[in-house]
Chain A
Amino acid sequence: MADKNDIILMKGNEAIAHAAIRCGCDGFFGYPITPQSEILETLALEKPWETTGMVVLQAESEVASINMVYGGGATGKRVMTSSSSPGVALMQEGISYMACAEIPGLIVNVQRGGPGLGTIQPSQSDYIQCTRGGGNGDYNVIVLAPASVQEMADFVDLSFTLAFRYRTPVIMLSDGVIGQMMEKVVLPPFKPRRTEEEVRKECPWATVGRKNRKNNILTSLDFDPYNMERHNQDLQRKYKEIMQKEVRFEEEQTEDADYLIVAFGSAARISQKAIELCRKEGIKMGMLRPITLWPFPTERIKELSRKVKGIISIEINAGQMIFDIQNAVEGRVSVKHYGRMGGVVPTPDEIVNALKSNLINELG
């Protein structure tokens, strides 16, 4: 087991597995799929059931995995699953049920090209699915978008913290670039799994066996529509609170930027290089990188749209986040999109060319 706190080199997928063991995760339930299989493989190699007692189970399907997460989360345990796009599509029913029953849990999506079974190469085409709640009903889940191997490690504990703070599923939306590449990473320090007493104390809602109290019932079904409407109103209040308190983003050279890139995850990394190339040519390009895709940094983009001449959304998809940017910009400046699809990843020079032809040449 990589137990030294020194700097090591590993894949994004491996970093997630190590971080899960270290942050007191109680269980992982998953089914293999490229490009995320190293998460399950690393857990199987590390055998955390022999050390921390964390359960690692290869389920019979993605549908089974998410329902195991539902069950584990219902008992107040820190449990997670991971998959890639087609597998996460299969999980949407379970995620919707978790959102309604207010069950915390972590779902990692290392995206690949779609639609359908698609390809195994990187993509960001599940943005809308994840940020709108991909299943049925009015709900949202918190979506974190790591852009480095370090963030793959750091966001596991953060996801669990948020999941339990708001009793909601949290999705880490990564992709094949961040999952497959190796970078330096400092793994988080070891944190023990919570004891049964701690779970009872921190999760009074959990179904851990009744002891001198009323039954805790966690369900997503109610035959009375008025009850269900009240529950929906509670959920919406919770989502509003999350939107107020949990927006996370990072800015790069926005102080003097004439033009703004908005990009997340691997597209943000590629865009960083595009900014370097633009700045060498004297084009003042800056970037806002949403770290939470939901809640979206609407207010900050609104502010920046008053300072820049134009905005371009760089996404490895057909243009999905652009709608959230347009919503923030409210028509003040032009918002363009550039992206590739189906597992093709744009190169930095492609982005520079897109910036020039789609944005700068048009706006002057």
Chain B
Amino acid sequence: MKNEIIIAGFDGQGVLSMGKILAYSALFEGKEVTWMPSYGPEQRGGTANVTVIVSEDRISSPILNEYDTAVILNQPSLDKFEERIKPGGVLIYDSYGISTPPTRKDLTIYRIDAMDAAAEMDNVKAFNMIVLGGLLKVCPIVSLENVLKALRKTLPERHHHLIPLNEEALKRGHEIIYHVE
């Protein structure tokens, strides 16, 4: 079983770190994993994306032209990646950054109002963990337990007191994601 995932949005939304936490969680599940960021000047105020591949077997290319799962957090990313999702694949989008919702009929599409939820939680930084929680609800690639383990691994110790908040955000994401007909 292999899941080829693209996470794409604006720089500053925590796209790369969300991918990193997902990658570490997969590592703790004993799976093969590759994390490949788009790097370069486009990250300065522009769009950022990361490809995370989680697999039972050896991973070949870290560079992909189509994806099983897309997590889309702004309109430019939707415009770029909607057509690059495999037929039958999963598309998750946050409504806040999307003015023209996805139109493909051959995908399973989920919406998550994570930006709104983060504002309600009075913590915009929890945004990416809410999205990750939503992703894991509809694609249970890794367990919550291993995500928390990954957070402990990737967050510097001085930020470990924020882990309960992140857990809350992950659970919030679980609750608020919904299927779009």
Contact = CB atoms under 8 A, between A and B. Distances in A.
A345 B63 contact: yes
A348 interface: yes
B41 A181 contact: no
Nearest to A35: B39
B65 interface: yes
A184 B27 contact: yes
A119 B34 CA distance: 24
Contacts, number: 73
B98 interface: no
A9 interface: yes
B36 A180 contact: yes
B99 interface: no
Contacts of B65: 347-350
Contacts of B40: 34, 119-121
B60 A120 contact: no
Contacts of B23: 9, 182
Contacts of A348: 60-61, 63-65
B24 interface: yes
B61 A272 contact: yes
A363 to B, nearest CB: 25
B11 interface: no
A7 interface: yes
B35 interface: yes
B37 interface: yes
Contact of B63 (A8, A119, A177): A177
A348 B23 CA distance: 22
A181 B60 contact: no
B101 interface: no
B36 A177 contact: yes
B37 to A, nearest CB: 6
A39 interface: no
Given A9-B23, A121-B40, A180-B39, A270 B63 contact: yes
B33 interface: yes
A181 B34 contact: yes
Centre residue among A183, A276, A350 by max chain B CB count within 10 A: A183
Contacts of A276: 60
Nearest to A8: B27
Contacts of B35: 9, 181-183
Interface in A289-327: none
Centre residue among A177, A181, A274, A275 by max chain B CB count within 10 A: A181
Interface in B32-79: 32-37, 39-41, 59-66
Nearest to B66: A349
Interface string A246-282: 0000000000000000000010011111111000000
A134 interface: no
A314 B69 CA distance: 28
Interface of B: 20, 23-24, 27, 32-37, 39-41, 59-66
Interface of A: 7-9, 34-35, 119-121, 176-177, 180-184, 266, 269-276, 345-350
Given A119-B40, A120-B41, A276-B60, 19 more contacts: A7-B27, A9-B24, A120-B40, A181-B36, A182-B33, A182-B34, A183-B34, A184-B32, A266-B62, A266-B63, A269-B60, A269-B63, A273-B60, A275-B60, A347-B63, A347-B65, A348-B61, A348-B65, A350-B65
12 contacts: A7-B27, A121-B40, A177-B62, A181-B34, A182-B35, A183-B62, A184-B32, A266-B62, A269-B61, A274-B61, A346-B63, A348-B63
> Which 10 pairs from chain A and chain B are nearest by CB?
A272-B60, A273-B61, A347-B65, A182-B35, A273-B60, A181-B36, A270-B61, A349-B65, A181-B62, A9-B27
